[in-house]
Amino acid sequence: MYPELEQLQKVLAGGAKKPGAKKRNGMSGLMVLHLNFVAKPSSGPEWMNELAEAIENARLDKEGLEASVTLISDREARLVTLLTFWERKRFLATRKYCIAWMERLLARFADGTIRAHSSVPQFLVVERSAGALVRMPETGVSHFREIAAD
């Protein structure tokens, strides 16, 4: 897990855009492994640091791990999703092993089963110029209001 946003942005930005081509998100060379679990009830606030340290110490970067993001449910603090971004070719060749490594790493943090599935990441990026107007829906209203983009 990379707490530095810059590191994650660097990984996610990859690839150059061809002239005249639609903007792509640079994710074609990556796969995402989703690991869903319930954190142990005895886990204190330090468990996230321990998880980050465990991932770093496992040296999975040598196996193709590029980055990871932890998502904690806003409805139940024990529901956790760990998204790990892997080099696609290496991941596809070793998918079973990647899942097994991550499940083994997460076992001490999980209260029960760890569910794993993989997917191809595709970020939806909206391009806009500074000062351009963006249409945003009003909450509970059928019309739009215009706001200036950042």
Reading the block at residue 12, the tokens are 């996610």
Backbone angles phi, psi at 38, to 5 degrees: -105, 125
For residue 42, the model assigns a pLDDT of 78
CATH at residue 28: 3.30.70.100
Distance CA 42, CA 46 (A): 11
Average pLDDT of span 72-93: 93
Task: With a cut of 50, say whether residue 1 has pLDDT above it.
Answer: no
Helix, strand, coil percentages for the chain (3-state, nearest 5):
30, 30, 45
The tens digit of pLDDT for each residue in 99-113 reads 999 999 999 999 999
Domains identified in the chain, total number:
1
Distance CA 67, CA 87 (A): 10
Mean pLDDT of the chain: 76
Reading the block at residue 36, the tokens are 């869903």
Confidence category of residue 80, pLDDT binned at 50, 70, 90: very high
Give the domain range for residue 53: 5-148
Distance CA 50, CA 12 (A): 24
The helix/strand/coil state of 95 is helix
Task: With a cut of 60, say whether residue 132 has pLDDT above it.
Answer: no
CB-hemisphere CA count at 13 Å for 131? 0
The tens digit of pLDDT for each residue in 10-65 reads 655 554 443 444 444 555 799 999 999 999 987 677 888 999 999 999 999 999 99
